[in-house]
């Protein structure tokens, strides 16, 4: 089944719209994301864009899901680049990649993890699955580390709190139908993620960097302390 000219041009236009939107946002922040701005940049009239996205919100949603996937991809390739077998290296690489991606793509990160653009409401059935991939990367690392006995969590990280058990089991079932992965992996991922995220968020919005000074070092050391706390030997 070969594509007709029109279908191909349509796909290209979709790509051009998103690319233009990204360029304008990189230059002027989320304030640069306007129908008229994108249209002018592309040599079109604003209403023409409505042939591609019914509302500006739909374009935002498309950008957001792409960003979630781009972040998850960055984490995965960082893990892949780490020493095979040394899962702790992968965890450090993933945490640092999370930070690096945020710092290198600040607006894209704000778009997914920051306050929603005023008036925008994310259709969760679309964004949530994409969003989940990030957490899945970390869960995967802990599955590997626990299996290989590379991570030996001391109390209180050696077992899932009973208060969370049943709900986490259900989440695990929905995501992984085989249900083979240890529940503790999900719990440990949920312990680590907020620590990484909080540091990155505060640094990105310049709340903590000026106080700490060397954020590069601080982030590294915090991630290492985190790894040690949950049972890795670094």
- The answer to whether residue 35 forms part of the interface with DNA (CB under 7 A) is yes
- The answer to whether residue 191 forms part of the interface with its own copies (CB under 8 A) is yes
- Considering only 53, 98, 101, 113, the residue that binds its own copies (CB under 8 A) is 113
Torsion on CA atoms 32, 27, 51, 45, rounded to nearest 10: 80
Residues 53-72 touching DNA, rule: CB under 7 A, are 54-57
- Considering only 23, 36, 121, 173, the residue that binds DNA (CB under 7 A) is 36
Task: Identify the DSSP state of 181.
Answer: S
Stretch binding its own copies (CB under 8 A), from 8-16, 36-44, 58-66, 165-173: 165-173
- Considering only 15, 26, 29, 51, the residue that binds DNA (CB under 7 A) is 51
- Considering only 15, 23, 27, 46, the residue that binds DNA (CB under 7 A) is 46
Annotate 10-57 with three-state secondary structure.
HHHHHHHHHHHHHHHHHHHHHHHCCHHHHHHHHCCCHHHHHHCCCCHH
86's CB contacts (< 8 A; 6+ apart) are 150
- The answer to whether residue 54 forms part of the interface with its own copies (CB under 8 A) is no
- The answer to whether residue 34 forms part of the interface with DNA (CB under 7 A) is yes
Count other C-beta atoms under 10 Å from residue 90's C-beta: 26
- Considering only 10, 20, 30, 176, the residue that binds its own copies (CB under 8 A) is 30
Which residues of the chain form contacts with DNA (CB under 7 A)?
Answer: 4-7, 9-10, 13, 33-37, 39, 43-48, 50-52, 54-57
């Amino acid at each position: 089944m070969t594509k007709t000219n029109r279908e191909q041009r349509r796909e290209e236009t979709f790509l051009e719209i998103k690319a233009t939107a990204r360029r304008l946002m990189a230059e002027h922040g989320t304030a640069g994301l306007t129908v008229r701005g994108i249209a002018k940049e592309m040599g079109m009239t604003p209403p023409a864009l409505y042939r591609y996205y019914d509302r500006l919100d739909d374009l935002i949603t498309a950008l957001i899901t792409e960003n979630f996937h781009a972040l998850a991809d960055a984490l995965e390739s960082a893990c892949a680049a780490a020493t095979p077998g040394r899962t702790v290296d992968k965890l450090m690489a993933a945490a640092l990649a999370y930070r690096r991606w945020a710092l290198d793509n600040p607006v894209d990160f704000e778009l997914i993890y920051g306050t929603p653009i005023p008036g925008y409401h994310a259709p969760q059935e679309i964004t949530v699955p994409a969003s989940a991939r990030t957490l899945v990367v970390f869960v995967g690392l802990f599955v590997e580390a626990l299996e290989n006995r590379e991570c030996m969590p001391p109390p209180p990280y050696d077992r899932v709190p009973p208060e969370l058990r049943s709900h986490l089991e259900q989440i695990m079932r929905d995501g992984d139908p085989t249900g083979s992965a240890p529940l503790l992996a999900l719990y440990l991922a949920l312990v680590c993620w907020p620590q990484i995220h909080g540091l990155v968020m505060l640094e990105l919005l310049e709340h903590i960097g000026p106080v700490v000074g060397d954020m590069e070092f601080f982030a590294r050391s915090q991630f290492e302390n985190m790894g040690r706390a949950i049972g890795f030997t670094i």
